[in-house]
Structure formats: structure tokens, C-alpha cells
């Protein structure tokens, strides 16, 4: 548990910014509005219920009792299964004609790739790794605990695989 | 009651914004709105006051505090703002002008006609610029605090430190590797998490000023263009 006083000091520091720093900080406040991950985050961010993610896990055949913190040892799927799952989700995304279904398929696609990284140390898509590092941290922000930490860890591990 | 009025009552205007949502929660929500408004707008209002003819009306901090005390508890104050379609900062400046005039007239009433009236500024362009700069500074600082608190609460203090050292102290990710025992790519990934928290805080504050969600990026571009 972080020291509360030390944290308060860190929050209070940097009371003044020059125009250059203000511009840099505002620049990183712009949102990449056209990317699929942005639509996914926007879709799930406003959901007040938390059971939507439970449904995603059921669809991915992830047992609710799974110890996510030790995913390297507890990964419930083989690499072949995850690769097949990823392909099915990709197809489902392309075929879906409703935004909610598209977002569900895309989230499962990302999770299948993250599980392959964390469970088997493999990046199972030919797409750009740096893009996925950022996708995982974006998606982590709308994902419940402990899967948010799982996705952040997958992003860091992907850097090592590169 | 005609049909148009009835429809308006059925869809209360006060639910359109974060402020409307908070006020609907009662006393707790009102406290949260007041805390937010004072945190973001005290500094720009003070800067505006110091640069305007209203500075002759008294001690700035006393005027600002009196203004907040007079306006923030009025149930119609934020409803009227939402109906106005103005940015909240503009609405508060207009209301501050009214407040200063009210106060000044009250003083005059007691002191007699020997006291001059508050002089209106002929040009407000420089005031608008000062207000804008002060508002941006206040908004970014508050967003910075909110994002820091969010990261630290989530056990992401290293993520926050890397973000600050890169974006504020302008250190290259490669220079952070030894301190955090990570690669430059991992430093960028960790900074991104903190950047998302900061981005969310900035965008929330801009939305609370009265900007529609779909217009936030163009508002940020406009803000940067005026710095």
C-alpha cells in the first residue's frame, strides 16, 4: 500500500506548467476517434453493469475460478485453440451487423491474442506489435479487475517478445 | 399547460450534463459540483477580475468567495447555464460581472452617490486571453491531480512517474530504463496507461464546461491554438 502522505505530495507537485508543456499534455488528451479500439472502449465505457465482461469470459470458455494472476500456469486453452478462437472472433467481427456484436467479437479477439502472449509467450497475429501494446492498455482501462492488470501485463510482455 | 411545455417537463434539462446529473443526486452531488467549479474556475475568475475594471470593487479573493457563496447555492443557477448554451467559464464571468455590480450598488446605496459606478471595460480582448490561459492552466493542473490520484489508487505509481518524467520533465524513455528496470518500449506502454487517465480527466473537465462529447477534440485543438 503506497504511503498516503508521499502520494499526496506527488499529486500536489507540478503546480505550474509552461505553454510548451501545456500543449504537449493537451496533445495527448486528443482521442484517436476512427480506430476500432476507440469504438470498443466507447461502447463498454458507459456500461453501468459489470456482468457484460462475465458474458465475454463465458464465451471464451474461461472458468470464473481461474487464477488470472498466474495465467502462465493456469491458461485454460492450448495455443492451437487460442489461434482458432482468434480466427472465429475475427470472422464474427466481420460478419456482425450490430455495433454491440462487433464490439463483443473485437474484445474476444484481443483477449485471445493477449491469452496467447501470457499463456504461451506467442504473438498469434501478423499485425503490428506496437499497435497491440497500445490496444491492450487502452482496453485495460474499461476491463474489470483482475483482467485489467492482465492486459497491462500482456502489453509489457509483448514488448519483450518483440 | 401546452404540449410543448409538458414535453419539456418530461425530459428535464438538468440531466443533460455531468453537473445536471450531480445536482439530481441532492446535497452530495451539489457539494461535488461546487468543489469542481471552485477547483477549476477560482483561478481564472481571479485572473479576470484582476485584469478588469472590477478590480477596484474590492479584494479579489473576497469577491470570488462572495460570488461563489451567492450563486452556487441557487437552485436555478446551473439550470439557467444549461439553457444559455454558453461555456461554463463564460457563464461564470457574466455572473461575476452581475455580482460585482450588485455588490457595488449596495455599497453605493449606503455610502451615497459620491462613490463612482463601476466602469465598464472598453476592450475585453486581453481579458479573454488572460482568462483562457488561466482556465487552461487550471484545467490541466486539476486533471493532472485527478490522474495522479487515479494511478496511485490503482497501484500504478511507476506508470504515473514515467508519464511525468517523459511528458513534463521531457526525459527520453531510454533514460528511464535503469531506474525502472524496463525497456524503452515498456516505458512507453506504462506511460500510455497514465496518459489515458490524464486524457480522461481532461476530457471530463472540458465536457463539464459545456462541450458536447463529439466536439471535445475540436475544442482541445482550439484551446491549443490559443495558447
Within-domain flag for A151? yes
Long-range contact list for B79-83, CB < 8 A, 24+ apart? B79/B13, B79/B14, B81/B19, B81/B210, B82/B13, B82/B14, B82/B16, B82/B17, B82/B19, B82/B20, B82/B210, B83/B13
Q: Give me the domain span that covers residue A125.
A: 35-161
Q: pLDDT digits over B79-120, tens only?
A: 899 889 899 999 999 999 889 888 888 777 777 666 566 555
User: Which residue in the set A17, A31, A133 is minimally distant from B189, CB to CB?
Assistant: A133
Helical (H) or strand (E) element with B28:
helix B27-51
Chain A residues contacting B via beta carbons under 8 Å: 2, 7, 10-12, 14-17, 19, 21-31, 33, 130, 133-134, 137-138, 140-141, 152, 155-156, 159-160, 162
Q: pLDDT digits over A2-14, tens only?
A: 455 555 555 555 5
Percentage of chain B beyond pLDDT 90 is 59
**What DSSP designation does B56 have?**
G
Whether B203 and A31 lie within 8 Å, measured CB to CB: yes
Tell me how far the alpha carbon of residue A48 is from its chain's centroid. 19
Q: pLDDT digits over A111-155, tens only?
A: 999 999 999 999 999 999 999 999 999 999 999 999 999 999 999
How would you label B146-171 residue by residue, b for 16+ Cβ within 10 Å and e otherwise?
bbbbbbbebebbbbbbbbbbbbbeee
Decide if pLDDT at B221 tops 70.
yes
Q: pLDDT digits over A33-68, tens only?
A: 678 999 999 899 877 677 889 999 999 999 888 999
Mean pLDDT of B43-47: 92
pLDDT given at position B109: 76
Percentage of chain A beyond pLDDT 90 is 69
The total domain count for chain A is: 1
What are the boundaries of each domain within chain B?
3-122, 127-226
H helices of chain A, in order, are 4-12, 19-27, 36-45, 51-59, 71-74, 79-95, 99-120, 129-140, 147-161
The span from the CA of B166 to the CA of B182, in Å, is 14
Q: pLDDT digits over B140-196, tens only?
A: 999 999 999 999 999 999 999 999 999 999 999 999 999 999 999 999 999 999 999
pLDDT given at position B122: 54
Amino acid at each position: 500500500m503506497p504511503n498516503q502522505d508521499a502520494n499526496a505530495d506527488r499529486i500536489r507537485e507540478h503546480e505550474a506548467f509552461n505553454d510548451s508543456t501545456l500543449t504537449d499534455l493537451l496533445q495527448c488528451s486528443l482521442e484517436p476517434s476512427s480506430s476500432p479500439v476507440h469504438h470498443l472502449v466507447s461502447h463498454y465505457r458507459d456500461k453501468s453493469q459489470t456482468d457484460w465482461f462475465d458474458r465475454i469470459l463465458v464465451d471464451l470458455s474461461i472458468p470464473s475460478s481461474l487464477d488470472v494472476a498466474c495465467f502462465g500456469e493456469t491458461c485454460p486453452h492450448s495455443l492451437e485453440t487460442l489461434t482458432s478462437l482468434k480466427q472465429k472472433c475475427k470472422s464474427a467481427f466481420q460478419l456482425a451487423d450490430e455495433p454491440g456484436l462487433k464490439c463483443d467479437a473485437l474484445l474476444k479477439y484481443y483477449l485471445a491474442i493477449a491469452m496467447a502472449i501470457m499463456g504461451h509467450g506467442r504473438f498469434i497475429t501478423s499485425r503490428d506489435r506496437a499497435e497491440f501494446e497500445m490496444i491492450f492498455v487502452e482496453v485495460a482501462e474499461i476491463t474489470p479487475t483482475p483482467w485489467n492488470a492482465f492486459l497491462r501485463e500482456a502489453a509489457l510482455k509483448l514488448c519483450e517478445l518483440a | 399547460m401546452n404540449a410543448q411545455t409538458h414535453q419539456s417537463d418530461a425530459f428535464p434539462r438538468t440531466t443533460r450534463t455531468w453537473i445536471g446529473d450531480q445536482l439530481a443526486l441532492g446535497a452530495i452531488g451539489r457539494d461535488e459540483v461546487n468543489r469542481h467549479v471552485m477547483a477549476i474556475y477560482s483561478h481564472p475568475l481571479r485572473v479576470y477580475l484582476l485584469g478588469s475594471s472590477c478590480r477596484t470593487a474590492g479584494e479579489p479573493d473576497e469577491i470570488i468567495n462572495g460570488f461563489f457563496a451567492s450563486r452556487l447555492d441557487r437552485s436555478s443557477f446551473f439550470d439557467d447555464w444549461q439553457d444559455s448554451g454558453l461555456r461554463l467559464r463564460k457563464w461564470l464571468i457574466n455572473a461575476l460581472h452581475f455580482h460585482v455590480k450588485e455588490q457595488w450598488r449596495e455599497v453605493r446605496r449606503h455610502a451615497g452617490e459620491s462613490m463612482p459606478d463601476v466602469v465598464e471595460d472598453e476592450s475585453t480582448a486581453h481579458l479573454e486571453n488572460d482568462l483562457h490561459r488561466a482556465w487552461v492552466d487550471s484545467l490541466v493542473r486539476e486533471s493532472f491531480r485527478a490522474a495522479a490520484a487515479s494511478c496511485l489508487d490503482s497501484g500504478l505509481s511507476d506508470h504515473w512517474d514515467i508519464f511525468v518524467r517523459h511528458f513534463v520533465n521531457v526525459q527520453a524513455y531510454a533514460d528511464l530504463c535503469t531506474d525502472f528496470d524496463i525497456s524503452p518500449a515498456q516505458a512507453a506502454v506504462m506511460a500510455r496507461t497514465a496518459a489515458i487517465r490524464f486524457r480522461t480527466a481532461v476530457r471530463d473537465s472540458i465536457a463539464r464546461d459545456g462541450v458536447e462529447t463529439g466536439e471535445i477534440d475540436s475544442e482541445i485543438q482550439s484551446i491549443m491554438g490559443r495558447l
